Amino acid sequence: MSEYGSDFITLTDEDGNEVELEHLDTLEYEGETYMAFGIADPEDAEDEVAVVIMTAVEVDGEEMLEEVQDEALLEEVYGLFLERIGEDEGGDE
């Protein structure tokens, strides 16, 4: 996972269900890498969640993705992603 771009990944949830996610953006915050993913199939979204924020972690020498669990950190990082989206949309004015 050294290259990030507009691509899709498939994750398996704790119930064994596969969910396809589209990589939307990646950012660095306080020394950590965070990635925003959109649910590729809206029917797969639970409780109207449209964006999943994950962080890259190393487990046994292998880079893995882990969903951000800390609510305060999640809100902070989500806000940063929203700011970036606003900058992208308003950049040509």
Q: What is the tens place of the pLDDT at every residue in 32-91?
A: 999 999 887 666 555 556 788 999 888 899 988 898 999 999 999 999 999 987 776 665
Q: Is the pTM of this model over 0.85?
A: no
Q: Summarize the confidence of residues 22-29 as an average pLDDT.
A: 92
Whether the predicted pLDDT of 23 surpasses 70: yes
Domain ranges across the chain: 8-90
* Three state DSSP letters for the chain: CCCCCCCEEEEECCCCCEEEEEEEEEEEECCEEEEEEEECCHHHCCCCCCEEEEEEEEECCEEEEEECCCHHHHHHHHHHHHHHHHHHHHCCC
Residue 81 · residue 25 · CB < 8 Å: yes
Using pLDDT thresholds of 50, 70 and 90, give the confidence band for residue 1: very low
Residue 84 · residue 70 · CB < 8 Å: no
